[in-house]
Amino acid sequence: MPEFDLLMPQTLPEALEMLGDRAPDLTPLAGGTNVIVYMREDRHRYKMLMDLTRLNELHGVRREDGHLVLGSATTIAELLTDPLIAEHGALLRQAAAVFASPLVRNRATVGGNLVDASPAADTAPPLLVMNAEVELASQKGVRRVPMDEFMVGVNETLRQPEELLVSIRWPLPATRSAGGFSKIGLRKGAVCSVVSAAVMVEKDEDGLCQSARIALGAVATRPIRAYAAEEILVGQPLKPQIIDLAGQLSAETVKPIDDIRGSADYRRRMVEVLVRRLLSRAAQEIVPRE
């Protein structure tokens, strides 16, 4: 492994200053579960790394103005134990439960997962269907970007080199809503998604679908929403026929590739199965109001 310099800022302003001065030669390092792997594979050579683990500003989960706000350095393991996540981020928790292995989960962060921007990033589909936004900060200021715009391609995001991802926020899920996350891999633990999907649906007082969001991983150059499928659900009762149709439309939306993990055809077919299953389960989960 090549040698590199490591900066260890203690506060967010200090970190942003370092980044402002040295970007793009300075790369943020959170859990390192992507960065160190890339370095060992010689896929990237980093001149300088900046350790983020000491920045308190990037840690913690809190409620704020009807939103849940998650520090970008929250680890995947923390998602599994945090009570606020259990209550307001069940989907993210489901993704965390099938994310990598316990060892990796202890290090890997949500921020790292999003900035790495793998098409298969497992926290992305849940955050997409929860309508999340990411907050980016630099010396110049702070901006928010909707999840659906943040990732633009394989390992590409809207983040500028001098920016840090500070937090991720989403509106607290509505009462008559439910959703789920599911992934298919070639084994059951420590595995990259061949296909992943998340859905979130909300029913109105009459039990009709008020809103629906569907997100899919590992089937395009970035995690994507299946808007066409979402649209046909709105205003409809969530019955098998329409759910099947949403599954088919989702499968038509995707542009998967063949690789050693699976064929494009298999991925497309699995999108249909996962979306159908997740929608049926979510539809049943929403309890009618007493």
Binding site for ligand FAD (CB under 6 A): 27-35, 37, 52, 58, 72, 99-100, 104, 107-109, 111-113, 115-116, 121-122, 159, 164-165, 190, 192
Residue 109 site contact among other proteins, ligand FAD, none (CB < 5 to 8 Å, cut-off depends on kind): ligand FAD
Residue 116 site contact among ligand FAD, other proteins, none (CB < 5 to 8 Å, cut-off depends on kind): ligand FAD
Nearest approach in angstroms of CB 198 to ligand FAD is 13
User: Measured on CA atoms in the order 42, 164, 200, 248, is the torsion positive or negative?
Assistant: negative
Residues 90-109 that bind other proteins (CB under 8 A): 101
Determine the straight-line distance between the first and last CA of the chain, rounded to whole angstroms: 61
Separation between Cα atoms, residue 285 and residue 170, nearest integer Å: 21
Residue type, 111: G
Residue 80 found at the interface with other proteins (CB under 8 A):
no
Residue 260 found at the interface with other proteins (CB under 8 A):
yes
Nearest approach in angstroms of CB 279 to other proteins is 14
Nearest to 214 by CA among 276, 169, 270, 257: 276
Spatial contact of 219 and 255, defined as CB atoms under 8 Å apart: yes
DSSP 246-263: HHHHHHHH-----BTTB-
Among 190, 220, 242, 264, binds other proteins (CB under 8 A): 190
Report CA-CA distances (Å) from 59 to 74, 111, 137, 167, 168: 6, 11, 15, 9, 11
Which alpha helices (DSSP H) does 108-169 contain, by range? 110-116, 124-129, 147-150
Nearest approach in angstroms of CB 162 to ligand FAD is 10
Residue 273 found at the interface with other proteins (CB under 8 A):
yes
Separation between Cα atoms, residue 209 and residue 272, nearest integer Å: 19
Instruction: Between 99 and 181, name the residue whose CB sits nearer to ligand FAD.
Output: 99
Residue 266 found at the interface with other proteins (CB under 8 A):
yes
Nearest approach in angstroms of CB 96 to other proteins is 14
- Is 48 exposed, middle or buried, given 0-12, 13-18 or 19+ CB atoms closer than 10 A? middle
Residue 3 site contact among ligand FAD, other proteins, none (CB < 5 to 8 Å, cut-off depends on kind): other proteins
> Hey, how many other C-beta atoms are within 10 angstroms of the C-beta on 108?
25
Nearest approach in angstroms of CB 48 to other proteins is 18
Stretch that binds other proteins, among 56-64, 147-155, 201-209, 261-269 (CB under 8 A): 261-269
Spatial contact of 114 and 150, defined as CB atoms under 8 Å apart: yes
Residue 189 site contact among other proteins, ligand FAD, none (CB < 5 to 8 Å, cut-off depends on kind): other proteins
Instruction: Between 66 and 260, name the residue whose CB sits nearer to other proteins.
Output: 260
Spatial contact of 201 and 174, defined as CB atoms under 8 Å apart: no
Residues 10-69 that bind other proteins (CB under 8 A): 40
Contact residues for other proteins (CB under 8 A)?
A: 2-3, 40, 101, 184, 186-192, 260, 262-263, 266, 269-270, 273
